[in-house]
Amino acid sequence: MTVDPTSNAFDIEIDVLVVGAGGCGLVAAIAAEAGGASVAVVEKLTRLAGNTLLSSGSIPGAGTRLQAEAGVEDGPERFVADLLAVSGPHEAEHLTRRLAATSAELVEWLIDEAHVTLTLVGTYRHVGHSVTRLHAPPSRRGADLVADLEREASARGIPVALGQPATSLILRGGRVVGVVTRDAEGRESRIGAGAVILASNGFGGAPDLVAAHCPEARGTTYAGAPGSTGEALAWGLELGAATGNLGAYQGHAGLARRSGALVTWTVIERGGIIVDRNGRRIGDETLGYSAFAGVEAAADAPLYMIYDARIEADVASGQPEFAEIAEMGDAAAGADAADLADAIGVHADALGATLADAANAAAGGEDAFGRTAWGFGPLGAPLRATEITPGLFHTQGGLMIDDDARVLRPDGSAIAGLFAGGGAAAGISGRAGGRGYVSGNGLLSALGLGYIAGRAAARDTAAKRAAE
Ligand SMILES: Cc1cc2nc3c(=O)[nH]c(=O)nc-3n(C[C@H](O)[C@H](O)[C@H](O)COP(=O)(O)OP(=O)(O)OC[C@H]3O[C@@H](n4cnc5c(N)ncnc54)[C@H](O)[C@@H]3O)c2cc1C
């Protein structure tokens, strides 16, 4: 922390300074500029490569016009009920309500004002949503979402300085008044700002912080972006900020071990199962991809997702990334259970018995793990298997904020001049562990809180100017 009681010596002064050029930061910058503020973004990496770019770009919106056109009845109350049913009680339920209430406005603003191309995802519903609610780029790639946001920021003349990590906040009279950045040559810049928005994501890329706060995720492979190393949390704690839901994370139980590609959970929704090295199932796969990552972390690797050619064709037709898994040779094939067991090196009798039990459950019998949803029903020949490993995508806890994304102290007072969103802020995925994550929670927190923070920061700086 740089405490600066008197000096006015800033290299540049602007209304709103955004730290991090991911989904949260770019949306915050666009929203603040739209609110009349002068804005700049500083980004640690030399190119845009945050989690938003790695994501499939799915953003939930409850009550959007796209849903209405598709005949889907939805609204914030239903969305809040869905979110809380999965997350359980947690430390930031006010954000669950705030984000659900803002979600439709956010999706429509992204389309109309930020010129992001989004369509309602009808091919899959995904974990935790009782209706079709996810909106995504047609390609289902976060890279397209980021490209659209970057284009919009550029069209609005918002500078995005790459390779300029923020290294500390500047504090004057108890108020955050700017940040210090340092470039690759070690040159420091002091940027003065009426408001600073921390959009630098969480701490998934800092193994010591993951071990301290999310011990259950220790056995997983970090598959998120390299920039998520927890600076916002460290700065906030130094300033005496409160934190929320620090133990929560988004896992993914379907990382293809060889290629690192993501095996979409739609394969499970269609009837796929997961087996361990002994050819036995390890739990109810329909718990969801985040919750099941914790189950896998405690299981006997190698692990395989087993599906059939019908599921492969169906999912590949709607999700091009999944089609690439077969193209990359990451899907072993077997004419029957014995043939597949031979191809992946598990015991044929054990795999045969597992598939017979699963087929019986999928046909209406009882499942030992209590699974009741089996998609297309029993798996049939020819079969497929992809070796998978559990991944950690994103931490879901961070600085406690209010309904306007202002960073709060434990007594509920706001730290003047400081906002946070996305992975830098407390999430809405439960108190701890990977079980509270509903599809889209990551981007809803990132883009939703970016939208809220950008607008509030622009309002604050306009009021400050008017008072001067
Ligand atoms: C493979 C994958 C798939 C996913 N799919 C989805 C999905 O479909 N839907 C969903 O809702 N969520 C998804 N998620 C989660 C989602 O991507 C994240 O929750 C979200 O992108 C976080 O956005 P953010 O803006 O907070 O962080 P990021 O997009 O990571 O942006 C943060 C930026 O800040 C920069 N930064 C960090 N420290 C500093 C610093 N000191 N100074 C300057 N810059 C800094 C980083 O380099 C980075 O560019 C997925 C995650 C992964 C890994």
pLDDT in tens, 155-205: 999 999 999 999 999 999 889 999 999 998 999 999 999 999 999 999 999
pLDDT (mean) for 121-146: 90
> Which pLDDT score is estimated for 262?
86
Q: Is the CB of 169 under 6 A from ligand 1?
A: no
Report the CATH number at residue 89.
3.50.50.60
Q: Same structural domain for residues 253 and 241?
A: no
For ligand 1, the distance from its centroid to the CA atom of residue 360, given in whole angstroms, is 41
For ligand 1, the distance from its centroid to the CA atom of residue 80, given in whole angstroms, is 23
> Which pLDDT score is estimated for 179?
96
Q: Same structural domain for residues 203 and 55?
A: yes
Chain mean pLDDT for the chain: 94
For ligand 1, the distance from its centroid to the CA atom of residue 25, given in whole angstroms, is 10
- CB 198, CB 16: distance < 8 Å: no
Q: What residues are paired with 408 via a beta bridge? A: 414
Residue 2 placed within a domain: no
Q: Which of 135, 290, 319, 394 to mutate to test the pocket of ligand 1 (most atoms within 8 A of CB)?
A: 394
pLDDT tens track for 307-341: 999 999 999 987 877 888 888 888 999 999 999 99
Q: Same structural domain for residues 299 and 358?
A: yes
pLDDT tens track for 222-246: 999 999 999 999 999 999 999 999 9
> Which pLDDT score is estimated for 313?
94
| pLDDT at 5 > cutoff 60 | no
Q: Same structural domain for residues 267 and 122?
A: no
| pLDDT at 100 > cutoff 80 | yes
Residue 61 placed within a domain: yes
DSSP 123-164: S---TT-SS--EEE-TT--HHHHHHHHHHHHHHTT--EETT-
In angstroms, the CA 79 to CA 82 distance is 5
In angstroms, the CA 208 to CA 103 distance is 34
For ligand 1, the distance from its centroid to the CA atom of residue 383, given in whole angstroms, is 35
Looking at ligand 1, which residue's alpha carbon is closest to its atom 14?
A: 55
Q: Same structural domain for residues 77 and 225?
A: yes
Q: Same structural domain for residues 41 and 157?
A: yes
| Pick from 385, 379, 375: nearest CA to 305 | 385
Dihedral sign computed on CA atoms, order 116, 117, 122, 126 = negative
> Which pLDDT score is estimated for 220?
86
> Which pLDDT score is estimated for 161?
97
Q: Is the CB of 96 under 6 A from ligand 1?
A: no
Q: CA angle, corner 83, sides to 109 and 112, nearest 5?
A: 5
Q: For the chain, what is the domain count?
A: 2
> Which pLDDT score is estimated for 259?
85
Q: Same structural domain for residues 360 and 430?
A: no
Looking at ligand 1, which residue's alpha carbon is closest to its atom 48?
A: 50
For ligand 1, the distance from its centroid to the CA atom of residue 378, given in whole angstroms, is 37
Q: Is the CB of 143 under 6 A from ligand 1?
A: no
DSSP 264-313: -THHHHTT-EEE-TTS-B-S-GGG-HHHHHHHHHTS-SSEEEEEEHHHHH
Residue 1 placed within a domain: no
pLDDT tens track for 406-437: 999 999 999 999 999 999 999 999 999 999 99
State whether residue 361 is helix, strand or coil: helix
Q: Which of 200, 231, 429, 439 to mutate to test the pocket of ligand 1 (most atoms within 8 A of CB)?
A: 200
> Which pLDDT score is estimated for 454?
98
Report the CATH number at residue 325.
3.90.700.10
Paired tokens of 48: 């845009």
At 125, is the pLDDT very low, low, confident or very high (cuts 50, 70, 90)? low
Cis peptide leading into residue 410 (ω within 30°) = no
Q: Same structural domain for residues 193 and 138?
A: yes
State which of 352, 368, 392 marks the end of a domain: 392
In angstroms, the CA 268 to CA 246 distance is 29
Dihedral sign computed on CA atoms, order 297, 303, 306, 311 = positive
> Which pLDDT score is estimated for 6?
53
pLDDT tens track for 64-83: 999 999 999 999 999 999 99
| Pick from 337, 332, 204: nearest CA to 258 | 332
For ligand 1, the distance from its centroid to the CA atom of residue 189, given in whole angstroms, is 25
Q: Is the CB of 204 under 6 A from ligand 1?
A: no
In angstroms, the CA 78 to CA 85 distance is 11
Q: Same structural domain for residues 388 and 401?
A: no
Residue 266 placed within a domain: yes
Q: Same structural domain for residues 66 and 157?
A: yes
pLDDT tens track for 281-290: 999 999 988 8
In angstroms, the CA 245 to CA 61 distance is 23
Q: Which of 52, 133, 395, 428 to mutate to test the pocket of ligand 1 (most atoms within 8 A of CB)?
A: 52
Whole-number percent of the chain with pLDDT over 70: 98
At 3, is the pLDDT very low, low, confident or very high (cuts 50, 70, 90)? low
| pLDDT at 55 > cutoff 60 | yes
State which of 392, 415, 446 marks the end of a domain: 392
> Which pLDDT score is estimated for 1?
60
Residue 30 placed within a domain: yes
In angstroms, the CA 66 to CA 155 distance is 26
pLDDT tens track for 347-382: 999 999 999 999 999 999 999 999 999 999 999 999
State which of 364, 392, 420 marks the end of a domain: 392
| pLDDT at 2 > cutoff 90 | no
For ligand 1, the distance from its centroid to the CA atom of residue 201, given in whole angstroms, is 6
Residue 3 placed within a domain: no
Looking at ligand 1, which residue's alpha carbon is closest to its atom 3?
A: 55
Residue 361 placed within a domain: yes
- Looking from the CA of 128 toward its CB, the CA atoms found within 13 Å total 25
In angstroms, the CA 338 to CA 353 distance is 10
Looking at ligand 1, which residue's alpha carbon is closest to its atom 21?
A: 52
Q: Same structural domain for residues 341 and 462?
A: no
Q: Residue 27: which residues within 8 A CB-CB, separation 6 or more?
A: 110, 114, 149, 446, 447, 450, 451, 454
Q: Same structural domain for residues 23 and 133?
A: yes
Residue 209 placed within a domain: yes
For residue 360, the enclosing domain spans 249-392
